[in-house]
Amino acid sequence: MNRKEFIKSTSIGIGITLTPTILPGQILAGTSSPESISPKVIKDKEGEVFNVIGDIQTHKLVGSETANQITEWVDNVEPGTGIPPHVHTKEDEIFRVIKGQVEIMVDGKVTVLNEGDTAFAPKNIPHSWKVVGTEKAKMITSAFPAGIEKMFVELSKLPEGPPDFEKVSNICGKHGIQFV
């Protein structure tokens, strides 16, 4: 048998051997059943709005709607507003800028994100962000797995005015987030 025929025949054999067989109605381990998640369409002006220490968040998807797979919200933020360097121990985050400019730091590298730009901040990696420029920024943020939305609800209940960093730090710490 020549090399080409050997590769072709062994690739097919390996492919058949390694391909899992999924029967109708069977669910892969680690996934949610279709019955536990309902489709949802969320319009731009829809969602629950929270003022999280100056970060105006409109929650679009939360863990109770996604079998705790993902939480997604829209940040509508004034220039100068931001989140200091911190580390998540439970979730990864994705930041997508829709409008304005956001300076983001991930693992010590600082970049200005413009409209259409995306950044990924894996858990256990320090990151921060701040709206720069003169216009309000709109950013879609996703966190997975879900759960962080509970922290945001708790933070939104703090009194208006300059935040008490000790209270903020304690709330964040309960949810696996540490400031650095």
Residue 34 has what pLDDT?
52
- At residue 92, the 3 state secondary structure works out as strand
Residue 51 has what pLDDT?
95
22 pLDDT exceeds 70?
Answer: no
Query: Is-cis flag, bond preceding 126, omega within 30?
Result: no
pLDDT confidence band for 174 (50 / 70 / 90): very high
Q: Report which residue type is found at 77.
A: V
Q: Tell me the C-alpha distance between 179 and 169, whole Å.
A: 7
- Count of CB atoms within 10 A of residue 57's CB? 23
Which DSSP helix (H) or strand (E) runs through 18?
helix 3-18
Q: Which of 92, 106, 94, 96 is nearest to 146 (CA)?
A: 92
pTM: 0.80
137-167 pLDDT, tens per residue?
999 999 999 999 999 999 999 998 888 999 9
Task: Report in angstroms the alpha-carbon separations of 65 from 37, 72, 81, 150.
Answer: 6, 11, 29, 13
Phi, psi angles (nearest 5°) of residue 176: 80, 20
Domains of the chain: 49-179 (2.60.120.10)
- Average pLDDT value for the chain: 88
53 pLDDT exceeds 60?
Answer: yes
Stretch 2-12: mean pLDDT: 56
57-98 pLDDT, tens per residue?
999 999 999 999 999 999 999 999 999 999 999 999 999 999
- Count of CB atoms within 10 A of residue 56's CB? 18
Token pair 């079998």: residue:
67
